[in-house]
Structure 1
Amino acid sequence: MMNNLKQKLGKSIENRRDELTAMADKIFDLSEVSGEEYQSAELLCSYLEKEGFEVERGTGFPTAFRAEWRNGSGGPVIGILVEYDALEKIGHACGHHLQGPAGIGAAIAVKECMSEYPCTIVVYGTPAEETLGGKIVMLDKGYMKELDLAFMSHGSPNTSVDEKCMALENFVVTFHGIKSHAAISPEQGRSALDAALLSFHAIEMLREHVKDDTRMHYTIRNAGGPPNVVPDLTVAEYTLRSYSTKYLDEVVERFYNIIKGASLMTDTTYEIQRDLPFKSKVVCHKVNNLLMENASYENAPAIAPPREKTGSTDFGNVLYEVPGSCIRIAFTQPDAQPHSQEYLDAGKSQAAHDAIVYAAKIMADSISDVLTNPGLLEEIKEEFNAAKEK
C-alpha cells in the first residue's frame, strides 16, 4: 500500500516535470541576489496560489513568503523550506534555483494524493541565505516555529544528508584613532590600524587555545590612508565559527576582550557591528535516515554517506527550533565545489532538472511516511528534544 502511495506521489511530480524545470530555469536566468529576489519569489507564489495554496507575502522579509494548504483539522504541520537567492556577480552557482520547484512539486503531490490524512503543509520562501540569513530574520519574527517538522533540498555533488553545520558569528569593527603626520609629529597620533593589527595578532595567539574545530578569519576593509599619515580610522571584519553554538559563545566573549585590549594598548576607541548569528543545528538522525531511505527507494544518483561536517547555514537556526533535515541531490561532477563555475555550468543541465524531481519525490515520500505512521513523528520529536538538551 505504501509503495502504491509513493508511486502516486511520484506520478504527480512527473506530470509537472516540465513546469517545474522551466520554473527553475527562469529563476536561474533571473539570478536575483539576496534581498532582491522579487521576481523569483513571485514566480513561486503565483504557482502555489494557482494550485490552491493560501499565500502570505513579505513574511518577516520583503522577498519571503508563507504558502499553506490546510487539510482538515489537527494533524502535523510540516514545512518545506526553499531558497532562491543567487550569488552576487556569479549567479546561481549554489543551486538555489532548484529548491523552489522541488519544494513546490513535493507539496502539490501531497495535496493531490493524501487528502484523507489531516495535516497542514507549509512552503516557506526563505531569501537571503547567502548573506544576511533570511531564516534568522523570519524566526525572530515568529515564523517557522509552528512547524512540527521541516524539510529542505539542495543541489550537491552527491546525494546525502548532513550531520553537523558550523555556528558562525561575524563582526565589523571600526577603530577610531587620531590622525597625525607620521614623520613630523607621530607622537600626536593614535593609530587605528595598529589596533586592528594587534587584534589580528591576538587572534593568532588564541588559535593555540581553542578547540580544534574552531575557525577564525579576519580581513581589513579600510586601512585608513597613506603610510605617511597615522590612520585615524580602520575598519576590520572578523568571522568566528565552531560546530558548537554553545562553545562559539565562549569564543565570542574572548574576541570581545581582544578588541577591548587592542583598543586599550593603542589608546583608540572602537565600535562593533555584530551580524545575525548562525547556529549549529540539532542533528536528528531519524529524519536523516528517513530521507536517505527514500533516496534509495527513488534510486537517486550518487548516494553517499552523510557529510559529517559542513559550513554554515541559516537552516541551522531553524533546526534549533524544529526537527528536520535537508536532502542533498547530486547534479554536478563529484569534485565540483559550491560557488564554483562547475556548479554554475550545471545549473540548467539534465542532471539539474532530474535533481528537482528526485528532491520532490524524496520529500513527498518522507512526508507520506510521517502522515501514515503517526508514531514516527513522536519518535522524531523525542530524539530532537533529547539532543537539544545536551
Structure 2
Amino acid sequence: MSRTPEAVYSRIRREVADRADVLWDVALALHADPEYAFAEHHAAALLTDELERAGLVVRREVAGMPTAFTAGSGEGPPTVALLLEYDALPGLGHACGHNLIAAAGLGATFAVHTVLDALGGAVLAVGSPAEEGGGGKALEVAAGVFNGVDAALMFHPGVYSWRRAPLTAQEQHRVGFHGRAAHPTGNPTEGIDALAALVELFNVLAALGRRLPEASHIRGIVTHGGTATNIVPEYAEGLFGLRAATSRALDDLGEQLRTCAEGVALATGTRVTVERATVRYDHFRDSEVLSERFAAHLARAGIDLTAPVPGVHLGSSDIGNVSVRLPAIHPFVAVMDADGSDHTPEFAAASASGRAREVMLAAAEALACTAADVLHSADLREEAWARHREAAAAGR
C-alpha cells in the first residue's frame, strides 16, 4: 500500500499551525453563540464565509436545510468528505463540543485544499446541522450529498480517547390509542378508556425490557392522556424512544413495539396507530482501517487512542447514517477526564479550554493527514470499501 509522501504531511502540519489562531477564534465564536437544531444561522454563515475566503466552492442550503452546506475543492474521484457539526444543546450550549468538531473540520479542509496539487482528487466539507435532534446528516445522505464520496471523516470531543465510537441505532415512535369517551359515573360501560390502554402498554414494555439484548431498550413518556378527569379518555398518546446495537436489531425492536401495542389494543377494545416520529439514526459502522490511520497520525501529538470499553455505548448520532453508506470514522478524543460526562455544564466549559484547543488542532491535523492517505492510496480506499461491504453483509 503506497505511503503518502512525507512532504505532504509536512505541508498539512504547517497549514494547520499557521491557521491555529483563526481556527481557535472560530471555535470560541461558536461556543459563545450557541444555536440549536436547524437554526444555526450564524454558525453556518461564519463557516461558509471562511471556506469561501479560502477559495473553496460553497453551496448553501443543501438538502433543503437552510443551515446545511458543502464546500468543495478539486475534482474527483477520489473524493473525501470532512464533516462539520455546529449545533448546540438547549440550556447547555456547546456541552457536546460541536464547536470543536466544526473548527477541526474547517482546519482539516483548509489543509487538504492546499495539498491537492500533490494528491489529486477532491475534498468536500459537509456542514451538517441538527445532530442533537433532527438528523442533518441523515437528511443529507437521503438527498445524495455523499454520492461519489469515498470516505467521510470527523472526530468528536469526549471524556474518553477511543479509536471508534460505540454508537447505537435509535428512533422514536408515536403510539396513539383510540377509544370512546364517556362519563365515568353517568355511562361508564359505554366508554373505552384509551389512557388505560396506554398505561397497559407501558406495563407490557416493562416486562419486555427484562429480556431485551444488550444495548436495546424502549423508554416512553405520555404526551396526551385525556382532557378532563370526569371524562373517560377517548384518545391517549405516548412517545417511545427505541435504541439497539445495530440497525437490524432496531428493526426487530420496532416490530416488537408494534406487536405489543396491537396486542394491548385487542385486549382493551381500542384501536392503535404506531408511526415513526423522528428521523432514524442508524448504528455507527466504523472503518477500522481508516480509524487506525487517524489514530497513528494523532499519536504524533502525544494523544493515544484505545479501543472502547466493552459493553459501553455512548448514545446515537446521525453519523451512523453516513457510515452505513460509505467508509467513515468518528473517533472520540478526550477534552476532560473520564470522571465527567458530556451534556453537562462542565463539558461545555471544557469545550473552550486550553486542552480543547490542543485537541482540536491535533484532530484537524490528523483528519487532514488521514484524508490525504485516502486520496493518495487506491489500495487504502479499496481495503476500506472491502471491509465496509463485509460488515454490511454481516449486519454489523
Q: Same fold (TM over 0.5)?
A: yes
2:91 aligned with 1:89, yes or no?
yes
Q: Any unmatched runs of 5+ in structure 2?
A: none
Equivalent in 344, 368, 373 of residue 377 of structure 2: 373
1:126 corresponds to: 128
Q: Distance in 1 between matches of 2:169 and 2:204?
A: 21
User: Which of 113-122 and 200-209 deviates more?
Assistant: 200-209
Query: How do residues 167-186 of structure 1 correspond to structure 2 at under 5 angstroms?
Result: 167-186=169-188
Deviation at 1:4, TM superposition (A): 4.1
Match of 1:105 in 2: 107
Give, in angstroms, the shift of residue 280 of structure 1.
Answer: 1.2
Q: Which residue of 2 aligns with 1:160?
A: 162
Residue aligning to 1:22: 25
SS of 1:165's equivalent in the other structure is coil
Cα pair 1:283 1:387 within 8 Å, conserved: no
SS in structure 1 at match of 2:44:
helix
* Structure-1 residue corresponding to 2:353: 349
Percent identity between the aligned chains? 27
Aligned match of 2:242: 240
Structure 1 unmatched runs, 5+: none
Tell me what 1:55 maps to. 58
CA distance in 1 between partners of 2:58 and 2:376 (Å): 26
2:316 equivalent to 1:335 = no
**Equivalent pair of 2:8/2:118 in contact (CA under 8 Å):** no
**Per-residue deviation, residues 188-223 of structure 1 (Å, max 9, x unmatched):** 222121111111111122224432331111111222
Aligned residues: 387
> Could you tell me whether the CA contact under 8 Å between 1:161 and 1:307 is conserved in 2?
no
Q: Within 2, Cα distance between the matches of 1:271 and 1:277?
A: 18
Question: Is 1:268 the equivalent of 2:273?
Answer: no
Q: TM-score, normalised by structure 2?
A: 0.92
2:287 — aligned with what? 284
Q: Distance in 2 between matches of 1:114 and 1:277?
A: 35
AA aligned to 1:255 is: L
Residue in structure 2 matched with residue 295 of structure 1 by the alignment? 298
Distance 1:342 1:208, change over 3 A: same
| RMSD of aligned alpha carbons | 1.9
* Alpha-carbon distance in structure 2 between the residues aligned to 1:95 and 1:307: 21
Matched residue SS, 1:162: coil
Matched, 1:359 2:363: yes
Pick one of 143, 146, 159 that aligns with 1:144: 146
The CA distance in 2 between the partners of 1:5 and 1:17, in whole Å, is 18
State whether residues 215 and 245 of structure 2, in contact with CA within 8 Å, keep that contact through their aligned partners in structure 1. yes
Name the aligned partner's letter for residue 198 of structure 1: E
Q: Secondary structure at the match of 2:119?
A: coil
Distance change (3 Å), C-alpha of 1:163 and 1:87: closer
Sort the Cα spacing of 1:158 and 1:281 in 2 relative to 1 into closer, same or farther, 3 A: closer
Match of 1:38 in 2: 41
- Structure 1 residue corresponding to 2:386, chosen from 377, 382, 386: 382
Name which of structure 1's ranges 182-191 and 333-342 shifts more when overlaid on structure 2: 182-191
Whichever residue aligns with residue 270 of structure 1, its letter is V
C-alpha deviation, 1:122, in angstroms: 0.3
Q: Secondary structure at the match of 1:68?
A: strand
Does structure 2 retain, via aligned residues, the 8 Å contact 1:164–1:310? Answer: yes
Residues 141-172 of structure 1 deviation map (CA, whole Å, 9 limit, x = unaligned): 11113210010111112322225321112112
- What is the CA–CA distance in structure 2 between the aligned matches of 1:175 and 1:243, rounded to whole Å? 29
